[in-house]
């Protein structure tokens, strides 16, 4: 049996939930799909029964709304069925097919990783990755942790480390002090963010925040033992057990690209009603360009209303959403400038440093004169189970490659589930 | 509230909590080799959200991403994913 | 000697010819505007297989595999001599395996007919109830892109040159490119599907295929596995078909094939056909069902007018030679194609009757 809905929303973070709730409120049959086990996406990730305060109101609305939610659902195929979309997804051992009149893509973003010697050692994780595991209950028992990379995310990660019993040695922020100070006007313009920052600052009291510093190399045999850091002139070596290191976020645009939606690797293009260049496909939140939770909430609501055919920019609610979106997007652009990656980071990998973790392709195996396809065919970079989601942005950053085309299965999928029903 | 259970990891019994992420259960139990890369390196979770596949293990014969897999009593986990 | 030769196309056939002729003292320029090996070569499975559709096809493929065997390939080519195991589903196919064995033995190729028990011992992952099989020990697998790049690199090291200009047209005594005419003693057209654009009298049809690659499951499959029914499904020319064809890669991954269809140049996956292909694979290897597929891609076999590719001088166009229409055998027969071409150009020995491959241009 193929279930039919009016609106299918892919991604259960703030944007997706917001869209699903808005469409459902307009009387549409809505289905919300997410790879995780609970609603909230990465930002509101939580353990069972421990919903974060800021998520409470929207998650309560989702519970109350007539939205069918499928968790642990990886969408691996979307087919254009002339006027409707057929989604096929893998849910554990099950294969599920859904048809929908409209699609809302709210697939969010993933962390950007940059390669440096030792970054493949167990104990080196993404900053958001570390955060995710801490939210899921990882305990650190006084272990020494270094938080590094770039962006505002590093601060809450460090705070979580402290809460989980870890000892944060430092927060290394690659962007220099003078640019970090550019955060001040952003905070002043958003009193709620300033308050959050102040609370974070209190919980991080005594933790060195070191703008202009970055990780050069991680050492260890079977597990991380130490990290060498630099500010370009000085070097230090710190012994530590964990390194949580992430260089900002990149949109999960794959599904949109596969469906022919216009955009770049920095985000899908949408119009004022959050509709993509493809009729009937809407997009909201980080996959339209990284701008944070406020943009996601506003755009999700707009996309949900537009997908339901009831979006009215001239209404009171419409005005509010448009304003919120503009404000959040402008903040997003400011943050992007403040936390732009410094060129020195391109020089971190050595010839033997792995670039593609799935296929163990070393940096030295890639001829800088090659294009993306040549690199892929000659080295297998991007051909492993993550389908280039980790090394793709690295190759774009290091070599200026263009993003790859996207084909089914959009996620690694068991053979048996790729077999369609008997015709 | 915690619902403790036992899972088996490469033949060893490991205490875990029902519903928590399998990756967290493994890390807590001191498992840092989730898979072996093509060139034989040990790999452990990186992204925590199902993107990187570094935490791929086999559960009851099926390949899963440990970070997305909720723990249930009696899981048979093999770290040769 | 020291003829000046232009080879149009840097797929595996083109680079094999270039390498062979440059090694014999010719001065070769290869024209390739796109990525060398980026067409049918990159999409191919890389199964070096002796096929016995006809005596000449058998001699051709056997010579092709033998020439690959003589090559000392670097690691990047991922060559493995895993052999082919032709799987017989029923007694009728076991009979076919026996006939096949006689033909292979007749050519001096090592092979053995397997009973159902021996088949199970050789490949325990195959489903129970199969009737037997035929093991052809000398068949190999390799990574086609790696092999093409190896041959290209060697040709360039021997002094050949690679020109990235697009060939716009064939002209008497040379080719026309954007910057101008390039003259030579001979032009060899080895442009795969691009052949017909430059030589409309030689129709090469794209015969689309799907492949899927799995995650690593080392030790699950040991031979290239092909169903004996393959010959039935691969050789009906107009029909759409799938066959069980699974290859163990050096990485521990499995390549799953195969499908054949004439569908123009639309490279998007045909979900129905892909499903049939995978269902067939699971029917032979039930454990595949839970194995993850990482990627699926399609490619176009350059399918010529006859059962054999066209290799040799093009009638009525002095100095023009073609090597085209290898369908699914381009990788297997790249080196023997080069050997035949060398025969035509240099008079070196051909181990096969070159007349069997001579072009018969369509009239009108």
A chain contacts of residue B43, beta-carbon cutoff 8 Å: 120, 122, 357
Q: In which domain, by residue range, is C328 found?
A: 4-44+144-203+306-357
How far apart CA B53 and CA A384 sit, in angstroms, is: 9
What CA–CA distances, in Å, run from A68 to A30, A40, C189, C250?
6, 15, 59, 44
Q: Which token pair is A86?
A: 């057929």
Confirm whether A372 is domain-assigned: yes
The answer to whether the beta carbons of residues A290 and A109 sit under 8 Å apart is: yes
Task: Compute the distance between CA of residue A5 and CA of residue A69 in angstroms, rounded to an integer.
Answer: 12
- Residue A158 has φ and ψ, to the nearest 5°, of -60, -40
End-to-end CA distance of chain B: 32
Position A190 scores a pLDDT of: 85
Does residue A287 share a domain with residue A303?
yes
Residue bearing the bigger pLDDT, C234 or C263: C263
> What is the count of structural domains for chain C?
2
The share of chain A scoring above pLDDT 70, in percent, equals: 99
Task: Give the residue from C102, C157, C67, C140 showing the smallest Cα distance to C340.
Answer: C67
Residue environment code for A28-54, b if the CB has 16+ CB neighbours within 10 A, otherwise e? bbbbbbbbbbbbbbbbbbebeeebeee
Task: Tell me, yes or no, whether C64 lies in a domain.
Answer: no
Does position A194 have pLDDT exceeding 70, yes or no? yes
Which tokens hold the place of A127? 């900053």
Contact C251 B61 (CB under 8 A): no
| Chain A (307-336) residues lying within 8 Å, Cβ to Cβ, of chain B | none
Chain C residues within an 8 Å CB radius of B56: 215
CA distance C292 to chain A (A): 4
Distance CA C49, CA C333 (A): 9
From C262, C277, C303, the end of a domain falls on C303
Residue of A nearest to B70 (CA): A37
Residue C133 pairs with which residues in a beta bridge? Answer: C87, C114
Mean pLDDT of chain B: 93
Contact yes or no for C28/C155 (Cβ under 8 A):
yes
B61: nearest CB among C216, C290, C292: C290
Domain locations in chain B as residue ranges: 4-78
Residue C362 clears pLDDT 50, i.e. is over it: no
- H helix intervals, B7-80: 22-28
Please check whether residue C178 lies inside any domain of the structure.
Answer: yes
Q: Distance from B2 to chain A by nearest Cα, in Å? A: 10
- Give chain A's mean pLDDT: 95
pLDDT over 90 (residue A265): no
Is C280 an interface residue toward A (CB < 8 Å)? no
Report pLDDT for A184.
Answer: 86
- Rounded distance between C-alpha atoms, residue A19 and residue A296, angstroms: 9
Residue C291 in contact with partner chain B when CB distance is under 8 A: yes
CA dist A255 and A75 (Å) reads 9
The ipTM estimated for the assembled molecules is 0.96
Lowest-confidence range among A273-282, C198-207, C232-241, C245-254? C232-241
Q: Residue A390 is part of which domain span?
A: 350-399
Whether the CB-CB separation of A210 and A172 falls below 8 Å is answered with yes
Q: How many residues does chain A have?
A: 423
Residue from C53, C94, C113, C77 nearest C309 by CA: C53
- The model's pLDDT over C72-111, given as tens digits with 9 standing for 90+, comes to 999 999 999 999 999 999 999 999 999 999 999 999 999 9
CA torsion sign for A113, A116, A121, A125 is: negative
Distance, CA of A192 to CA of A324 (rounded, Å)? 14
Search chain B and give the residue with CA nearest A108. Answer: B49
C251 min Cα distance to partner chain B (Å): 7
> How many residues does this entry show for chain C?
364
CB within 8 Å of C286: residues ≥ 6 apart: C125, C127
Outline where chain C has alpha helix (H).
Answer: 12-23, 40-43, 55-70, 91-106, 116-122, 144-157, 195-198, 230-235, 271-284, 330-346
Strands A94-105, A3-10: parallel, antiparallel or unpaired by DSSP?
parallel
State which fold the B4-78 domain adopts: Ubiquitin-like (UB roll) (3.10.20)
Residue C120: which residues within 8 A CB-CB, separation 6 or more?
Answer: C126, C128, C130
Question: What pLDDT score does A379 carry?
Answer: 94
Tell which of C303, C322, C346 closes a domain.
Answer: C303
Contact criterion met (CB below 8 Å) for B5 and B74: yes
Give the mean model confidence (pLDDT) for residues C239-260: 94
- Cα B18 to Cα A161: distance, rounded to the nearest angstrom: 23
Nearest to C292 among B38, B61, B63 (CB): B63
- Do C230 and C107 have their domain in common? yes
Which residues 7-46 in chain B show a CB within 8 A of chain C?
A: 38
Pairwise CA distance, residues A114 & C300, whole Å: 36
- C272 close to A (CB below 8 A): yes
Instruction: Assess C292–B contact: CB distance below 8 Å, yes or no.
Output: yes
**A192 pLDDT more than 90:** no
Q: Is C125 on the interface with B (CB under 8 A)?
A: no
A378 to chain B nearest CA, in Å?
16
Contacts of A305 (CB under 8 A, 6+ apart): A22, A23, A26, A311, A312
For residue C231, give the CATH number of its domain.
3.30.9.10
Q: In this structure, are residues A230 and A237 in contact, taking their beta carbons and an 8 Å threshold? A: no
Contact A415 C215 (CB under 8 A): no
**Whether the Cβ atoms of residue A63 and residue A152 lie closer than 8 Å to each other:** no
Is residue A14 domain-shared with residue A118, that is, in the same domain? no
Tokens of A207: 């933790």
CB atoms within 10 A of CB C344: 19
Chain C residues within an 8 Å CB radius of A416: 282, 288-290
Pairwise CB contact (< 8 Å): A35 & B49: yes
A408/C42 touch (CB, cutoff 8 Å), yes or no: no
Is residue C98 domain-shared with residue C223, that is, in the same domain? yes
A83 plus A98 within the same structural domain = yes
- The conformational region for residue C284 under phi > 0 = left, psi -120 to 50 = alpha, else beta, is alpha
Are A339 and A248 in contact by the 8 Å Cβ rule? The answer is yes
Contact with chain A for residue C329, Cβ under 8 A: no
Domain harbouring A15, CATH code: 3.50.50.60
Structure tokens at C12: 């595996």
Please say if the pLDDT value at position A138 is more than 70.
yes
Q: For B26, which residue in chain A has the nearest alpha carbon?
A: A138
Pairing mode, strands B4-9 and B76-78: parallel
Identify the burial level of A247 via C-beta atoms within 10 angstroms of its C-beta, where 0-12 means exposed, 13-18 middle and 19 or more buried.
Answer: buried
Residues A22-32 have pLDDT tens digits of 999 999 999 99
CB contact under 8 A, C215 and B63: yes
Minimal CA separation from B63 to chain C, in Å = 7
Q: Are residues A203 and A259 located together in one domain of the fold? A: no
pLDDT band at C363 (very low <50, low <70, confident <90, very high): very low
Same domain, A275 and A393: no
CA separation for the pair A208, A236 (Å, rounded): 14
Residues 6+ apart with CB under 8 A from A390: A113, A356, A357, A358, B46, B47, B51, B52
The answer as to whether A384 is a domain residue is: yes
Give percent above pLDDT 90 in chain A.
Answer: 89
Residue A326 located in a structural domain: no
Is the pLDDT at A423 greater than 60, yes or no?
no
Residue where one domain finishes, among candidates A224, A247, A270: A247
Instruction: Give Cβ neighbours of residue C34 (< 8 Å, ≥ 6 apart).
Output: none
> Nearest CA to CA, how far is A47 from chain B (Å)?
7
For residue C169, what pLDDT is reported?
A: 98
User: CA–CA separation, A113 vs C35, rounded Å?
Assistant: 29
Contacts of A131 in chain B (CB under 8 A): 48
Instruction: Report the C-alpha gap between A20 and A31 in whole angstroms.
Output: 7
| A103 shares a domain with A125 | no
C289 and C244 in one domain? yes
Has residue C73 been placed in a domain?
Answer: no
d(CA C301, CA C206): 6
pLDDT, tens only, A340-387: 999 999 999 999 999 999 999 999 999 999 999 999 999 999 999 999
- Identify whether residues C225 and C292 lie together within a single domain: yes
How would you class A352 by CB atoms within 10 Å of its CB: exposed for 0-12, middle for 13-18, buried for 19 or more? exposed
Shared-domain flag, residues C237 and C274: yes
Cα–Cα distances in angstroms (integers) from residue C264 to residues A346, C205, C261, C306, C329, in the given order: 43, 8, 9, 19, 20
Q: How far is C352 from chain B (nearest CA, A)?
A: 42
CA A228 to chain centre: 27
Distances C137 to A68, A114, C54, C77, C241 between C-alpha atoms, Å: 55, 45, 20, 19, 27
Torsion angle of C-alpha atoms A104, A328, A290, A409, degrees rounded to 10: -10
Please count the other Cβ atoms lying within 10 Å of the Cβ belonging to residue A195. Answer: 11
Show which of residues 15-54 on chain B sit within 8 Å of chain A, judged by CB atoms.
17, 19-21, 23-24, 27-28, 32-33, 37-39, 41-54
DSSP SS3 for C259 = strand
Q: Is any Cβ of chain B less than 8 angstroms from the Cβ of C215?
A: yes
The H helix count followed by the E strand count for chain C is: 10, 19
Give the CATH number of the domain where residue C193 resides. Answer: 3.50.50.60
Give the pLDDT confidence score for residue A293 in this predicted structure.
95
C114 with C182, same domain: the answer is no
Residues 10-39 of chain A with CB under 8 A from chain B are 35-37
Residue A127 has pLDDT above 50, yes or no: yes
The pLDDT value given to residue C312? 97
SS3 category, A29: coil
> C213 and C331 share a domain?
no
Compute φ and ψ for A124, nearest 5 degrees.
-95, 120
Provide the number of CB pairs (under 8 Å) joining chain A to chain C: 75
Residue with tokens 């086999």: B58
Q: How far apart are CA A411 and CA A392, in angstroms?
A: 15
Q: Is residue C94 part of a domain?
A: yes
Identity of the residue in B23, B42, B52 whose CB atom sits nearest the CB atom of A357: B52
* Residue range C305-317, pLDDT digits in tens: 989 999 999 999 9
């Amino acid at each position: 049996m193929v279930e039919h809905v009016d609106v299918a929303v892919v991604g259960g973070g703030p944007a997706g939930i917001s869209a699903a709730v808005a469409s459902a409120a307009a009387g549409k049959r809505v289905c919300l799909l997410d790879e995780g086990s609970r609603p909230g996406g990465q930002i509101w990730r939580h353990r069972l029964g421990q919903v974060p305060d800021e998520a409470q109101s929207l998650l309560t609305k989702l519970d109350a709304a007539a939205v069918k939610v499928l968790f642990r659902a990886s969408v691996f195929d979307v087919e254009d069925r002339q006027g409707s979309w057929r989604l096929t997804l893998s849910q554990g051992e099950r294969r599920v097919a859904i048809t929908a009149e409209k699609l809302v893509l709210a697939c969010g973003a993933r962390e950007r990783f940059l390669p440096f010697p030792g970054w493949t050692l167990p104990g080196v994780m993404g900053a958001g990755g570390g955060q995710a595991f801490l939210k899921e209950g990882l305990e650190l028992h006084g272990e020494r942790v270094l938080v590094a990379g770039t962006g505002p995310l590093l601060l809450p990660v460090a705070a979580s480390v402290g809460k989980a019993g870890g000892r944060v040695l430092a927060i290394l922020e690659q962007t220099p002090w003078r640019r970090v100070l550019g955060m001040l006007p952003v905070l002043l313009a958003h009193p709620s963010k300033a308050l959050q920052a102040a609370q974070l600052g209190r919980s991080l009291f005594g933790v060195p925040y070191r703008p202009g510093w970055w990780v050069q190399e991680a050492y260890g045999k079977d597990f991380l033992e130490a990290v060498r850091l630099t500010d370009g002139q000085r070097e230090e070596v710190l012994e530590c057990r964990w390194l949580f290191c992430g260089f900002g976020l990149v949109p999960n645009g794959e599904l949109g690209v596969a469906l022919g939606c216009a955009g770049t690797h920095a985000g899908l293009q949408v119009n004022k009603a959050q509709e993509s260049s493809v009729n009937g496909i809407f997009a909201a939140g980080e996959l339209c360009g990284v701008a944070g939770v406020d943009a996601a909430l506003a755009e999700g609501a707009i996309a949900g209303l537009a997908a339901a055919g009831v979006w009215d920019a001239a209404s009171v609610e419409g005005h509010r959403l448009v304003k919120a979106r503009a404000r959040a997007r402008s903040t997003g652009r400011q943050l992007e400038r403040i936390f732009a990656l410094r060129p020195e980071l391109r020089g971190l990998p050595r010839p033997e440093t792995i670039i593609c973790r799935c296929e163990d392709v070393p940096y030295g195996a890639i001829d800088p004169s090659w294009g993306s396809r040549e690199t892929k065919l000659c080295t297998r970079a991007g051909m492993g189970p993550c389908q280039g989601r980790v090394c793709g942005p690295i190759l774009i950053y290091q070599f200026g490659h263009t993003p790859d085309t996207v084909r089914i299965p959009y996620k690694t999928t068991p053979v048996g589930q790729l077999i369609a029903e008997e015709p | 509230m915690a619902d403790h259970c036992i899972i088996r990891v490469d033949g060893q019994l490991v205490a875990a909590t029902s519903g928590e992420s399998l990756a967290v259960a493994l890390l807590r139990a001191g498992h840092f080799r989730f898979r072996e890369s093509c060139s034989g390196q040990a790999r452990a979770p990186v992204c925590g959200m199902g993107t990187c596949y570094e935490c791929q293990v086999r559960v009851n014969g099926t390949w899963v991403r440990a970070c997305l897999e909720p723990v249930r009593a009696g899981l048979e986990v093999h770290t040769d994913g | 000697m020291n003829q000046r030769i232009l080879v149009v196309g840097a797929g595996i056939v083109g680079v094999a010819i270039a390498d062979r002729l440059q090694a014999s003292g010719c001065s070769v320029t290869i024209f390739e505007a796109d990525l060398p090996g980026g067409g049918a070569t990159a999409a191919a499975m890389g199964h070096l297989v002796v096929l016995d559709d006809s005596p000449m096809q058998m001699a051709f493929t056997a010579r092709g595999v033998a020439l690959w065997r003589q090559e000392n390939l670097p690691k990047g080519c991922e060559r493995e001599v895993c052999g082919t195991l032709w799987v017989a589903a029923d007694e009728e196919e076991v009979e076919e395996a026996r006939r096949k064995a006689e033909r292979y033995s007749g050519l001096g190729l090592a092979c053995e007919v397997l009973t159902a028990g021996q088949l199970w011992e050789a490949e325990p992952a195959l489903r129970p109830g199969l009737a037997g099989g035929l093991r052809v020990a000398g068949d190999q697998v390799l990574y086609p892109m790696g092999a093409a790049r190896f041959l290209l690199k060697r040709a360039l090291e021997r002094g050949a040159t690679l020109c990235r200009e697009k060939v716009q047209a064939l002209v008497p005594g040379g080719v026309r490119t954007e910057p101008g005419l390039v003259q030579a003693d001979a032009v060899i057209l080895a442009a795969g599907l691009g052949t017909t654009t430059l030589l409309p009298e030689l129709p090469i049809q794209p015969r689309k295929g799907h492949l899927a690659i799995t995650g690593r499951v080392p030790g699950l499959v040991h031979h290239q596995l092909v169903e004996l029914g393959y010959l039935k499904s691969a050789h009906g020319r107009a029909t759409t078909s799938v066959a069980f064809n699974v290859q163990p890669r050096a990485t521990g991954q499995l390549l799953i094939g195969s499908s054949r269809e004439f569908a123009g140049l639309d490279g998007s996956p045909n979900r129905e056909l892909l499903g049939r292909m995978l269902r067939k694979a699971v029917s032979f290897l039930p454990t595949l069902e839970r194995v993850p597929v990482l990627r699926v891609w399609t490619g176009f076999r350059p399918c010529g007018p006859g059962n054999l590719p066209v290799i040799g001088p093009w009638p009525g166009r002095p100095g023009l030679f073609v090597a085209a229409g290898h369908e699914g055998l381009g990788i297997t027969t790249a080196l023997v194609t080069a050997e035949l071409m060398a025969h035509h150009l240099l008079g070196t020995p051909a181990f096969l009757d070159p007349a069997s491959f001579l072009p018969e241009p369509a009239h009108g």
